[in-house]
Amino acid sequence: MIKNGYGKLLDFQVNGNDIVINYEHNKVFVSIIRSTIINFFVPLFRKERNSKAVENFETTHRKFEIKAIENGLEIITEKLVVKIFDYFKTDIYDKTGNLLCQDYRGEKAPFERRFSDYDLLAAEGHKTNANSDEKIYVVKKLEEDTYFYGLGERSGHLNKKGYHYVNWNTDNPAPHGETFDRLYKSIPFLIGIKKNISFGIFFDNHFETTFDMGRDNKDYYYFSAADGNLDYYFIYGPSVKEVVENYTKLTGTTPLPQLWTLGFQQCRWSYGSEARVMEIANSFRKREIPCDTIYLDIDYMDGYRVFTWNKEKFKNPHAMIEKLKSMGFKIVTIIDPGVKVDKGYKIYDEGLENDYFAKDNQGIVYRNEVWPGDSVYPDFLNSKTRSWWAKNQKIMTDYGVSGIWNDMNEPASFKGPLPDDVMFDNDGIPVMHKEAHNIYAHFMAKATYEGLKKETGKRPFIVTRAAYAGTQKYSTVWTGDNQSTWEHLRMSIPMLMNLGLSGIGFCGTDVGGFGHDCTSELLIRWVQMGTFTPLFRNHSAMGTRDQEPWAFDEKTEEINRQYIKLRYKLLPYIYDMMWQCNKTGAPLIRPLLFNYQADAETYELNYEFLCGDNILVAPVVEQGAKVRTLYLPKGDSWVDYWTGEIHEGGQYIIKNVPLDICPIYIKGGSVLPTYEVQNYVGEKEITKLTLQVYLTDENTSSTYNHYVDDGESFKYMVGEYSNYKIKVTNGEKVEIKLKVIDNNYKDSYKNFQFVFHNLKEKEVIINGETKAVDDKGKIVIIKP
């Protein structure tokens, strides 16, 4: 609904896959995107759809029926029945008659908030949590057996029922807690599960928006916006997998990353000199702890001027980076949007001369303050500004920099937030800050992506703090300035799972925590969790204690080394899962419900997750814990990674968890490809792929696809890759079929080694030939 309503439904017209519904007071446009995706659009702010998330998406005519019904009309696709009535009340069913999503017919009735002296409350610094004004308000009936997920980076539990969130990218340095209703990213995409049927709602509005999942009233949930158009997509599953796949078809999937970006990464605010950077690099190699990436935070710059170097601390950046490259390290440098006001500084002068900066409402370049002091903000909504920013990436790549870290891009500001009426130029369309705010970082990431792609020809590696829906097409994300506390370790797990469900397939946290002082035990448990997350980066703040893997004692160092090496062992599996993510949107880190939706016991498991399809991880998140209770979903058996013990699914178990053990379980019947451990990606030529086969007492049949390409270029997009299909049948004997489906890339594999777990003296047949197995369950075969 909107404030002035719609009135009675008068008539409708059909034009291809678009339906125009005429009401007394408004027009509603309904588009059949697919048989499972319906778009509802009302041009309240601009006539055109102004999506910044849905780019280059083509719809073709879809088969559907439409007919008039009492007080409305009915649209029937192959999968859905949509009934639209007077006052734009809309109910959506699946083809079997299950009611999926129904507009609420009652009055808005949030619970009463009681105040006595409001001014005194505010003076003491308390927030009232009152609802903000909204021009758009869509309210849906909430049923008791509904669960909610998604909405990107959010504190709180996995299931978002009962929560209330605001989409307004916010840099809040206070320790994040469950009461935070906004953080750095705005992804207005909600997934619901009701009676084992899943659907999604993507509210494509980049003004400040609100999602309330039954906090205000248990009878309804709603989404609203301060301004803009009513533009939302209903996305039918019926599985969560299909909802995520369809959502990422709209907004884009995560590009396949360079292989090295999946290795271990080390960061600190700041490694502030060449000597300190080399000390860190030499320590990794001396201690044989694998690492691919070292970050440089703001102190590498000259007076915090972006695209510059402090030549006193880094006398010859190019030579330093070349030396690090010879050691296997890639350098990632931070770049903030704030450009220092400084005549004679190339970036400032060029931006001023070419009108690349945002302005105030009087047409004067707007200034605020960030790290460099008095600063101006590039107008990333303008394509000419983005092109200029993209070209500036060459400054960094010419030094040998391998990736860019975009920070402070909410945009952050030290002298109060940017006013709503700061003006941007969206290629001829004036846009106020209140509209531009949530997409500012999105377009900064896009400009950076295009620049790195052009200058290097490789898949760009960009890390961003702020984001909007669809930013996954351009950038990796991390969850911002967390704290070295057990609470934040716990919070990060559902946060990353919901980011994955929201299309952000390449995500991670600051392992060990950014602020506060980490402890040995906390770092160990966080590294154990981070081993299985897409972005695996240790990062800590200025003034906190050292947090590198060796910063505590020998035992801590050894356990950290053990898990970081495990990460490198699993790189081919993780890369396979990122390949799947690129194709279908399926995230690497995912809640158990993603694969086991039929098992309702998985719907609210906050502190365990799946790493891809075959690995279940239950991190230890309590200080001093000696045991860990965890759930194994039904439908599969599970093999304890450490002991080989087989557990039936559909039960809770208790696992002993000494400090060096993170509970890891492998799905029965599955295959895990592994590599020989390296100190960095590319250190060794990989001539042998080891396929770990996890058998159970049950008869199983499973298929696994292993993908390999050059690990850095875009040649895979034109088919230059190899795809190996491994089928495992476990019955009275074990039969393996290994073949190459796609063989357009000359990989370095010379042979394949099979390692069988729980073989129990069964006969093994590979591609029709009986093979002898050694006493460790190993077979080596020549490449097919």
What distance in Å separates the CA atoms of residue 84 and residue 69, rounded to the nearest whole number?
9
Q: What angle do CA 671, 676, 682 make, to 5 degrees?
A: 115
Work out whether strand 373-376 and strand 367-370 pair parallel, antiparallel, or are unpaired: antiparallel
Question: Tokens standing for 103?
Answer: 């507009």
Q: Are 306 and 339 in contact (CB under 8 A)?
A: yes
Chain centre to alpha carbon of residue 145: 27
410 catalytically annotated: yes
Q: Return the half-sphere exposure (C-beta side, CA atoms, 13 A cut-off) of residue 80.
A: 26
Q: Are 381 and 426 in contact (CB under 8 A)?
A: yes
Burial (CB count within 10 angstroms: exposed 0-12, middle 13-18, buried 19+), residue 362 = exposed
Q: Are 444 and 463 in contact (CB under 8 A)?
A: no
Considering the candidates 171, 231, 297, 481, report the single residue annotated as catalytic: 481
Q: Are 652 and 630 in contact (CB under 8 A)?
A: yes
Sign of the torsion angle spanned by Cα atoms 238, 240, 245, 249 = positive
Question: Tokens standing for 496?
Answer: 């990353």
Burial (CB count within 10 angstroms: exposed 0-12, middle 13-18, buried 19+), residue 748 = exposed
Burial (CB count within 10 angstroms: exposed 0-12, middle 13-18, buried 19+), residue 683 = middle
365 DSSP β-pair partners: 359
What distance in Å separates the CA atoms of residue 668 and residue 293, rounded to the nearest whole number?
34
Question: Tokens standing for 333?
Answer: 């440098």
Whole-angstrom distance between the N-terminal and C-terminal Cα of the chain?
Answer: 61
DSSP structure string for 501-570: HTT--SEE-EET-SBS---HHHHHHHHHHHTTSSSEEE---TTSPP-STTSS-HHHHHHHHHHHHHHHHT
Residue 107: what are its φ and ψ, rounded to 5°? -85, 155
Q: Give the amino acid at 540.
A: S
Considering the candidates 407, 455, 576, 712, report the single residue annotated as catalytic: 407
129: left (phi over 0), alpha (psi -120 to 50) or beta: left
Q: For the CA atoms of 485, 488, 489, 495, what is the dihedral angle to 10 degrees? A: -170
What distance in Å separates the CA atoms of residue 663 and residue 532, rounded to the nearest whole number?
12
Considering the candidates 134, 181, 297, 410, report the single residue annotated as catalytic: 410
407 catalytically annotated: yes
Cα dist from 479 to 184, 407, 583, whole Å:
8, 11, 24
Looking at the annotation, which residues are catalytic?
A: 407, 410, 481
